């Protein structure tokens, strides 16, 4: 037992009663003697337990292979379920056995002595710092940048510009927004088509307290791509007669208690499918923005700041609902260019 | 230059380490071949012995690391089957409730992985659970680093890398669960587009370029795929490597204790003990993930159905690491200003752009802010016990409380439905909690820390109560207090507590001139912050020993109260 | 004499008014009369003596037998206490009594009749189409597979776990409470069957990934990741780092 323990860097650690241990290993400052260190029989027993864990792992691996092959095809959900549970659990045993065994091996059999190691000063010596700084300066001197300002400035220009192509190549990632966000496929004369069947909605199809989702064109129409489909859905709602209070300038936008509003929430764009018939409110399920249908869908709760855009509707001679014009404003979330 | 015959370095040679067993020839030969080419022996000699401290809280980062490995492995398997196409297909696979429906190829291939590929569902679930555990472990690890002050010099760079890893992990997870293009994640993408659109001036352009047009954009799922499997994993991998190398080079921090100083590391050597521990922990992480994946369903996209912009489900939730952003979006009042034909959507910008911006910026800058306030620019290799830094701990708890409020607010409709609370009431409650709970949490935590410190000092001084009551000769009853063992006192780390930073110079110098530095506005701010955050209360109360007026050790011994230090340690 | 007078008026009334599609067993008149007796005893205190409604309850004139069958067979009515919405609870009336109540209300004015078994039992139903319809019209209140969801003003869209085919049909047809009405011209009977096939199919379907956590979504999944994932692994870490036991 020595008091001064030599360290790698040539210094020494002052550790009373330190045990150097093996000279190629870090010095030990606390010897820990566990029951199994003192008694070889216990150590053997620990070894057997660890072996059991490794064997369990092997068994788990075999089980995985068996289960994988035993369920050759997945036709029913029951088979998928069984496969998932069996494969997952056998994998867990296979990996867990290895993990537990390795951890147990360290804790029970490998030496548990506490070793100590000195931290080297991270910073280099003052001389090294000075030398490094001088190397940098000497190299800079060799570049001649300090003297040659023409070189420096032209280099600056070239370096400053050279990355521009990379930025410019991104231009065709997407089209310029232009007016695309301002318009939808709805226009004067668009029939209100049932979103599922594509059939025009007729007067009398909806009962009082009903609402349905309508589109200006069928879903498989060539003009109806995904982008237009994200702006086109409209809710046709039938209110009790006399309930609707049209906003100024919107008299005639409703028809016999039927009103049509954009389905796309003006907060961040979720479709609003939630109509509470008794309170005549539309509730967006994403962030709980609530719109008062009889009052031009103005916002009564939640983070949306704009009322839902209204689609003016009427009924044609065939009894089918038609839009008498497109939307008078962009639908969906607000954006900077929207007034 | 000497020429060496192959295998000649394995020859017996007297070692300069007396007492060490000489290595077998074969080992030396093998090592020699590698060493000839790479100089490995020197590296191994130094690094295999590297000592790693032993504490469970140091392994939280490993959970994240090994979850990342699991993600790479399971993710690679998934890429063999997943097709990131937005082209429409008609599903004819095994899952009957969706058969015959139009859906994107992305969704259809996800169904194929889940229902047609053997082992597909378990690997898909392992991938998703590993992602959730990855993010949870990162948060836990981040908290450990914060509350123990392990971000201080020389580890600020690692902290910055960590902030980068958190943000990238968030992005990666969001991209990953949006790939299947199901109704739930598609709704999330719609919300993301709406948030981007709201950014002033550039929002609509940014949205159009990132998504390839208006929402949803035909190129978006394929781009997300590239981002998710190539770009972000590459950056994550390099950042994680840098993170580990820096930690290796600087050596790990350690808790205070006997024999532990700022200039050493106490623990177990890397090889073989630490390798076995960490290797075993990798298998344990994988095993736990596999067990959960086999037994608990996650992200059942077949129940959500394919994405359709006209459809949405009640109780739509993002994964928890995005949940706090969802909560902030829900709680924000509907503020919007219209200026000169333009709209500024505060209702979207503040919760979804400004709030995370402030959070991540503050996180990144925190080590530098704290160093400035405490004027502590020394290197620290000893972890702080959270109680010994009441200001920092209270701040951390307040921020976590705020994030917790937002996280719960993100699920307010689920809470409302499950626990029968009015929906609007939950909104109001969380809006109130947003302002009220964090200051309360701050104050409570600070007082708890100071109280715990006081208890530590008392215990160090007086020892612990044994529960033995003894009657003295004069009839007085005392409880015997027994001195704490040395190593327990050492673990309290009382000498590492910190009071307010000392002033830079006296308020008035020897000539009676007022110090301009001391009276500058910035220094006043710094002084107030330091005083408040680092106020110490470790002196015993003025009336002596409080409730333990008669508590002594039987032998009357006394422990000297450890002194307060400020600034760096030895 | 009063009873006799009531009986006379009731039966005369029963002869005069139309009774569309009353699906009650036995003599229709008798069903109506018994239904009225039950109504007066259990429902009239809120809904009025002539079902005209009041401050606490809406009028039942014209709601139809289907609405009554739905509300009574799910136990929502009679309400035990005034609350924001009626919740499903064990029904107070047996099927025969329910039919009688329905017959009585149907006798007051025309309204949607109780659907026949052929109407509500899914035959040649397309579960995939039904799912699509469900997701367009229903899931924003009832959640993706009908687990239920929160609504404003203290209300909620209930879970469909305990709903029968008939009840689902009737709910769509009559729009109970704050639920919108989905009439047969809006959602055809075949479409309704598709939706019923979807809802019942999803209920019966096992969860292949394991325990479903109530199909509640990411909130529950996050909790499991923290507790079972990080929590258990932190425990393993504590085992790894625990102080070794010393001998003696």
pLDDT tens by residue, B427-455: 999 999 999 999 999 999 999 998 998 88
Instruction: Return the residue of B nearest to A231 by Cα.
Output: B309
Q: Does A273 touch chain C (CB under 8 A)?
A: yes
Q: Does A274 touch chain C (CB under 8 A)?
A: yes
- Helices (H) then strands (E): counts for chain A: 7, 14
Alpha helix (H) residue ranges in A71-125: 77-104
Instruction: Return the residue of C nearest to B416 by Cα.
Output: C150
> Within chain B, which residues score under 50 in pLDDT?
1, 540-570
CB contact under 8 A, A102 and B283: yes
3-state SS, residue A221: coil
Cα separations (Å) of B224 from B174, B204, B240, C19? 10, 19, 22, 61
Instruction: Return the residue of A nearest to C212 by Cα.
Output: A81
User: Chain C partners of B107 at a C-beta cutoff of 8 Å?
Assistant: none
Taking each helix axis as running N to C, give the angle between helix A40-70 and helix A77-104, from 0 to 180 degrees, rounded to the nearest 10. 160
- Which tokens sit at C57? 């309850």
The dihedral formed by the CA atoms of B50, B51, B56 and B58, expressed in degrees to the nearest 10: -60
3-state SS, residue B252: coil
pLDDT at C15: 54
CB-closest option in C136, C155, C178 to A196 = C136
pLDDT at A327: 94
**Among A227, A272, A83, which residue's Cα sits nearest to residue B119?**
A83
Hey, which residues does A275 pair with through a beta bridge? A282
CB contact under 8 A, C181 and A107: no
3-state secondary structure B335-352: CCEEECCEEECHHHHHHH
B-contacting chains (≥3 CB pairs under 8 Å): A, C
User: Chain B partners of A274 at a C-beta cutoff of 8 Å?
Assistant: 314
pLDDT at B505: 74
Q: Which helix (H) or strand (E) holds A211?
A: strand A211-215
Instruction: Return the residue of B nearest to C137 by Cα.
Output: B311
Q: Which helix (H) or strand (E) holds A164?
A: helix A164-168
DSSP 8-state class, residue A310? B
Q: Does C189 touch chain B (CB under 8 A)?
A: no
DSSP 8-state class, residue A115? E
Q: Does C96 touch chain B (CB under 8 A)?
A: no
Separation of alpha carbons B114 and A74, rounded Å: 10
User: Chain C partners of A88 at a C-beta cutoff of 8 Å?
Assistant: 210
3-state secondary structure chain C: CHHHHHHHHHHHHHHHCCCCCCCCCCCHHHHHHHHHHHHHHHCHHHHCCCCCCCCCCCCCCCCHHHHHHHHHHCCCCCCCCCCCCCCCCCCCCCHHHHHHHHHHHHHHCCCCCCCCHHHHCCCCCCHHHHHHHHHHHCHHHHCCCCCCEECCCCCEECCCCCCCHHHHHHHHHHCCCCCCECCCCCCCHHHHHHHHHHHHHHHHCCCCCCECHHHCCHHHHHHHHHHHHHHHHHHHHHHHHCCCCCCC
3-state SS, residue B51: strand
- Which tokens sit at C51? 């079902």
Separation of alpha carbons A117 and A8, rounded Å: 9
Residue B122 · residue A91 · CB < 8 Å: yes
Give phi and psi for B2, each to the nearest 5: -85, 145
3-state SS, residue A139: helix
CB-closest option in A72, A267, A339 to B338 = A339
User: Chain C partners of A46 at a C-beta cutoff of 8 Å?
Assistant: none
- Which tokens sit at B174? 């969001």
**What sign does the dihedral C203-C209-C214-C218 (CA atoms) show?**
negative
User: Chain C partners of B308 at a C-beta cutoff of 8 Å?
Assistant: 132, 135-136
By CB atoms closer than 10 A (0-12, 13-18, 19+), residue B481 is buried
**Residues whose CB is less than 8 angstroms from the CB of residue B540 and which lie 6 or more positions away in sequence, other chains included:** B454, B457, B458, B461, B546
Classify the phi-psi angles of A299: left when phi > 0, otherwise alpha if psi is within -120 to 50, otherwise beta: beta
Separation of alpha carbons B394 and B91, rounded Å: 54
Residue A88 · residue A100 · CB < 8 Å: no
C-contacting chains (≥3 CB pairs under 8 Å): A, B
pLDDT at C21: 42
Separation of alpha carbons A234 and A214, rounded Å: 5
Residue B278 · residue B58 · CB < 8 Å: no
Residue C98 · residue C48 · CB < 8 Å: no
Verify cis geometry, omega within 30 degrees of 0, for the bond prior to B230: no
pTM as predicted:
0.90
**What sign does the dihedral B103-B104-B105-B108 (CA atoms) show?**
negative
Give tens-digit pLDDT for A56-70: 999 999 999 999 999
Cα separations (Å) of A197 from A184, B520, B552? 21, 74, 88
- Give the CA radius of gyration of chain C: 25
> Within chain A, which residues score under 70 in pLDDT?
1-21
User: Chain B partners of A267 at a C-beta cutoff of 8 Å?
Assistant: 194, 329, 334, 347-348
CB contact under 8 A, A271 and C140: yes
Place of tokens 């969706």: B98
0.95 surpassed by complex ipTM: no
- Suggest the residue from C143, C144, C145 to mutate for an interface test with chain B (most B CBs closer than 10 A): C144
User: Chain A partners of B287 at a C-beta cutoff of 8 Å?
Assistant: 91-96, 99
CB contact under 8 A, B129 and C229: yes
3-state secondary structure B204-246: HHHHHHHHCCCCCCCCHHHHHHHHHHHHHHHHHHHHHHHHHHH
**Among B126, B144, B137, which residue's Cα sits nearest to residue B288?**
B126
Is the pLDDT score of C7 beyond 80?
no
Separation of alpha carbons A308 and A334, rounded Å: 11
**Residues whose CB is less than 8 angstroms from the CB of residue A61 and which lie 6 or more positions away in sequence, other chains included:** A90, A94
**DSSP labels, B514-528:** BPTTTTSHHHHHHHH
- Which tokens sit at A192? 């209100």
pLDDT at B542: 42
Cα separations (Å) of A176 from A179, A333, B211? 9, 18, 12
Residue A193 · residue A218 · CB < 8 Å: yes
pLDDT at C81: 80
Closest CA of chain B from C206, distance in Å: 11
CB contact under 8 A, C151 and A283: yes
């Amino acid at each position: 037992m020595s008091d001064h323990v030599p360290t790698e860097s040539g210094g020494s650690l002052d550790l009373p009663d330190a045990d150097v241990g093996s000279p190629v290993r870090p010095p030990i400052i606390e010897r820990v003697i566990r029951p199994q260190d003192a008694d070889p029989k216990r150590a053997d027993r620990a070894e057997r337990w660890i072996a059991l864990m490794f064997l369990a792992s092997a068994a788990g691996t075999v089980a995985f292979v068996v289960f994988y092959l035993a369920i050759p095809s997945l036709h029913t959900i029951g088979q998928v379920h069984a496969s998932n549970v069996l494969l997952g659990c056998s994998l867990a045993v296979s990996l867990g056995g290895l993990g537990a065994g390795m951890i147990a091996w360290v804790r029970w059999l490998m030496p548990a002595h506490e070793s100590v190691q000195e931290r080297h000063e991270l910073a280099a010596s003052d001389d090294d710092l000075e030398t490094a700084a001088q190397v940098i300066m000497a190299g800079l001197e060799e570049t001649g940048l300090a003297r040659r300002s023409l070189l420096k400035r032209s280099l600056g220009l070239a370096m400053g510009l050279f990355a521009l192509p990379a930025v410019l190549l991104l231009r065709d990632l997407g089209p310029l927004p232009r007016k695309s966000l301002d318009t939808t496929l709805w226009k004067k004369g668009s029939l209100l088509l049932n979103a599922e069947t594509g059939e025009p909605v007729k007067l009398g199809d909806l009962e009082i307290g009903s609402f349905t989702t309508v589109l200006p064109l069928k879903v498989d129409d060539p003009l109806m791509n995904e982008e237009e489909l994200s702006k086109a859905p409209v809710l046709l709602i039938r209110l009790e007669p006399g309930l609707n209070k049209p906003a100024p300038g919107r008299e005639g936008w409703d028809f016999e208690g039927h009103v049509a509003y954009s389905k796309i929430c003006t907060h961040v764009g979720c479709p609003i499918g939630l109509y509470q018939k008794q309170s005549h409110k539309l509730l967006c399920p994403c962030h709980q923005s609530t719109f008062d249908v009889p009052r031009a869908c103005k916002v009564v709760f939640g983070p949306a700041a704009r009322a839902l855009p209204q689609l003016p509707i009427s009924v044609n001679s065939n009894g089918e609902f038609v839009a008498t014009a497109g939307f008078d404003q962009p639908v969906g979330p607000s954006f900077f260019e929207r007034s | 230059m000497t020429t060496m015959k192959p295998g000649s370095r394995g020859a017996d040679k007297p070692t300069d380490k007396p007492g060490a067993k000489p290595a077998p020839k074969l080992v030396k030969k093998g090592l020699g071949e590698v060493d000839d080419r790479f100089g490995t022996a020197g590296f191994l000699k130094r690094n295999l012995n590297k000592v790693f401290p032993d504490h469970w809280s140091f392994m939280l980062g490993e959970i994240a690391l090994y979850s990342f490995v699991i993600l790479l492995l399971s993710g690679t398997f998934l890429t063999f089957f997943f097709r990131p196409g937005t082209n429409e297909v008609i599903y004819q696979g095994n899952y009957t409730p969706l058969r015959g429906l139009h859906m994107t190829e992305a969704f259809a291939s996800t169904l194929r992985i889940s229902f047609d590929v053997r082992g597909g569902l378990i690997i898909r679930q392992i991938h998703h659970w590993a992602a959730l555990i990855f993010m949870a472990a990162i948060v836990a690890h981040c908290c450990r680093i914060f509350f123990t002050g392990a971000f201080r010099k020389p580890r600020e760079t690692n902290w910055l890398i960590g902030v980068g890893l958190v943000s990238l992990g968030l992005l990666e997870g969001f991209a990953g669960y949006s790939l299947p293009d199901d109704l739930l994640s598609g709704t999330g993408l719609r919300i993301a587009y709406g948030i981007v659109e709201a950014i002033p001036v550039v929002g609509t352009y940014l949205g159009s370029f990132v998504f390839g047009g208006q929402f949803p954009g035909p190129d978006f799922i394929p781009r997300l795929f590239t981002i998710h499997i190539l770009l972000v994993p590459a950056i994550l991998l390099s950042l994680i490597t840098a993170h580990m190398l820096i930690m290796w080079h600087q050596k790990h921090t350690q808790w205070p204790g006997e024999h532990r100083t700022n200039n050493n590391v106490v623990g177990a050597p890397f090889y073989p003990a630490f390798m076995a521990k960490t290797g075993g922990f990798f298998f344990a992480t994988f095993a736990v993930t596999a067990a959960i994946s086999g037994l608990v369903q996650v992200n059942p996209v077949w129940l959500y159905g394919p994405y359709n912009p006209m459809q949405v489900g009640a109780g739509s939730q993002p994964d928890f690491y995005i949940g706090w952003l969802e909560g902030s979006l829900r709680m924000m009042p509907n503020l919007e200003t219209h200026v000169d034909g333009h709209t500024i959507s505060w209702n979207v910008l503040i919760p979804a752009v400004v709030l995370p911006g402030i959070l991540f910026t503050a996180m990144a800058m925190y080590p530098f802010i704290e160093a400035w306030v405490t004027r502590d620019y020394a290197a620290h290799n000893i972890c702080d016990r959270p109680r010994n830094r009441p200001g920092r701990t209270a701040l951390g708890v307040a921020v976590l409380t705020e994030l917790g409020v937002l996280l719960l607010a993100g699920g307010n409709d689920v809470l409302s439905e499950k626990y029968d609370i009015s929906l609007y009431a939950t909104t109001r409650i969380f809006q109130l909690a947003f302002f009220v709970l964090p200051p309360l949490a701050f104050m409570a935590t600070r007082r708890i820390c100071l109280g715990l410190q006081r208890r530590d000092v008392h215990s160090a001084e007086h020892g612990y109560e044994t529960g033995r009551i003894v009657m003295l000769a004069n009839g007085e009853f005392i409880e015997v207090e027994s001195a704490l063992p040395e190593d327990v006192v050492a673990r309290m780390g009382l000498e590492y507590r910190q009071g307010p930073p000392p002033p830079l110079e006296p308020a008035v110098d020897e000539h009676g001139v007022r110090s301009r530095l001391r009276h500058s506005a910035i220094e006043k701010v710094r002084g107030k912050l330091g005083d408040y955050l680092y106020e110490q209360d470790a002196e015993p109360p003025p009336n002596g020993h409080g409730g333990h007026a008669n508590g002594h050790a039987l032998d009357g011994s006394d422990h000297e109260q450890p002194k307060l230090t400020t600034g760096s340690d030895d | 004499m009063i009873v006799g007078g009531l009986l006379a008026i009731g039966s005369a009334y029963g002869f005069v008014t139309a009774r569309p599609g009353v699906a009650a067993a036995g003599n229709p008149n008798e069903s109506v009369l018994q239904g009225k007796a039950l109504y007066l005893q259990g429902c009239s205190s809120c809904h009025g003596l002539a079902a005209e409604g009041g401050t606490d309850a809406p009028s039942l004139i014209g709601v139809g037998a289907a609405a009554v069958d739905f509300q009574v067979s799910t136990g929502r009515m009679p309400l035990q206490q005034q609350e924001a919405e009626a919740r499903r609870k064990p029904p107070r009336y047996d099927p025969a009594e329910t039919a009688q109540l329905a017959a009585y209300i149907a006798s007051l004015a025309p309204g949607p009749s109780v659907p026949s078994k052929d109407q509500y039992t899914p035959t040649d139903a397309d579960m995939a189409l039904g799912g699509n319809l469900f997701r367009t019209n229903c899931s924003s209140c009832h959640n993706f597979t009908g687990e239920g969801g929160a609504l404003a003003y203290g209300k909620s869209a209930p879970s469909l776990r305990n709903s029968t085919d008939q009840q689902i049909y009737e709910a769509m047809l009559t729009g109970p409470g704050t639920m919108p009405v989905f009439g047969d011209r809006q959602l055809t009977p075949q479409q309704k069957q598709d939706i019923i096939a979807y809802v019942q199919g999803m209920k019966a379907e096992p969860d292949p990934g394991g325990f479903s956590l109530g199909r509640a979504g990411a909130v529950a999944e996050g909790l499991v990741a923290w507790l079972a994932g990080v929590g258990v692994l932190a425990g393993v870490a504590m085992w790894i780092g625990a102080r070794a036991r010393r001998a003696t």
